[in-house]
């Protein structure tokens, strides 16, 4: 899907916000959001893509694949890449004050970057970042009701510092097999898991319990069969710690 189409689609979001008085029943809150920045043109990425697939099967992890486009010149244009993911990866780097932008790179809970093929380090980072006072402390839930996807963000539990953040929703394709014809991975078919196919801001969270309804027509498209939502400290250009998240299949 072209970037211009994505931007046009984003403008159709039509989110309705409302104050929530009752929190719906939820499954156990996830312990981590794991973002993988990967590329079909990166020979060292397939092991990380496989690990992301393993994490995607863990209900306590919201695992997201965000394919970048800056390796497209190496002989194979990534068919899933979105320049917005490249920009997001660089925004994390600016916030850390370093120049560590590479593939495969994993960001755990918005707090720590790691080589995406190092499963032991990823597990350690999920455990250690979750111990911070505000990381993944905000209850978030999603439910599908008719033609609406409903998102509820609840006030942080007592003792946690989280008071505000941005809410983003991701349209997800849970498994996308790609046959790569050229470049460093030529001749291989790789399955990419929980691929973000569109990425939309739902609203700003002020620290109070509130709900939003998103028309399903702005989420669903060919190949999209799940959705993830996260609340993140900071802003789109200055991303901080992940405060809470949820994931739901759509079919």
The pLDDT tens digits for 36-87 are: 999 999 999 999 999 999 999 999 999 999 999 999 999 999 999 999 999 9
pLDDT bin (cut points 50, 70, 90) of residue 162 is: low
Asked whether the predicted pLDDT for residue 10 surpasses 50, the reply is no
Q: Which strand (E) or helix (H) includes residue 86?
A: helix 83-96
- Is 15 a residue whose pLDDT tops 60? no
For the chain, percent of residues with pLDDT exceeding 70:
86
Burial track 224-242 (b if 16+ CB lie within 10 A, e otherwise): bebbbbbbbbbeeeebbbb
Give mean pLDDT, residues 84-107: 97
**pLDDT over 90 at 149, yes or no:** yes
Comparing 205 with 25, the larger pLDDT belongs to 205
Taking the complete model, does pTM exceed 0.75, yes or no?
Answer: yes
Q: Which residue carries 């991975």 as its tokens?
A: 185
Q: Which residue has the tokens 């993911």?
A: 85
Locate tokens 């600016």: which residue?
94
Nearest to 230 by CA among 159, 136, 156, 147: 136
pLDDT band at 160 (very low <50, low <70, confident <90, very high): low
As a whole number, the mean pLDDT across the chain is: 88
Tell me, what's the pLDDT at 159?
A: 64
Strand pairing class (165-180; 188-205): antiparallel
Euclidean distance between the first and the last CA atom of the chain, given in angstroms as a whole number: 21
Q: Is the pLDDT of residue 114 over 60?
A: yes
Per-residue model confidence (pLDDT) at position 132: 84
Of the listed ranges 20-34, 137-151, 155-169, the least confidently predicted one is 20-34
Q: Cβ neighbours of residue 210 under 8 Å, at least 6 residues apart?
A: 17, 18, 19, 20, 152, 153
With a cut of 50, say whether residue 212 has pLDDT above it: yes
CA distance 53 to 175: 9
In contact, 153 and 244? CB cutoff 8 Å = yes
Give residue 130's Cα distance to chain centre: 17
Distance of alpha carbon 126 from alpha carbon 54, whole angstroms: 14
């Amino acid at each position: 899907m072209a970037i211009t189409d994505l931007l046009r689609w984003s403008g159709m979001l039509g989110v309705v916000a409302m104050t929530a008085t009752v929190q719906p029943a939820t499954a156990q809150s996830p312990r981590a959001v794991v973002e993988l920045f990967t590329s079909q043109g990166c020979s060292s990425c397939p092991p990380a893509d496989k690990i992301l697939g393993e994490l995607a099967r863990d209900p306590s992890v919201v695992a997201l694949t965000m394919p970048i486009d800056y390796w497209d010149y190496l002989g194979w244009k990534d068919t899933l890449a979105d320049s917005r993911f490249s920009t997001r990866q660089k925004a994390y780097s600016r916030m850390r004050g370093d120049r560590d932008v590479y593939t495969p790179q994993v960001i755990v809970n918005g707090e720590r970057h790691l080589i995406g093929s190092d499963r032991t380090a990823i597990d350690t980072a999920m455990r250690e970042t979750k111990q911070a006072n505000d990381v993944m402390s905000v209850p978030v839930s999603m439910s599908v009701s008719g033609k609406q996807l409903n998102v509820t963000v609840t006030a942080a539990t007592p003792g946690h510092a989280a008071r505000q953040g941005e809410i983003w929703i991701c349209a997800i394709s849970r498994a996308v097999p790609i046959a790569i014809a050229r470049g460093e991975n030529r001749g291989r078919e790789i399955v990419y898991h929980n691929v973000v196919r569109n990425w939309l801001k739902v609203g700003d969270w002020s620290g109070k319990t509130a709900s939003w309804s998103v028309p399903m027509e702005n989420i669903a498209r060919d190949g999209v069969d799940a959705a993830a939502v996260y609340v993140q400290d900071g802003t789109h250009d200055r991303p901080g710690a992940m405060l809470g998240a949820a994931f739901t299949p759509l079919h």
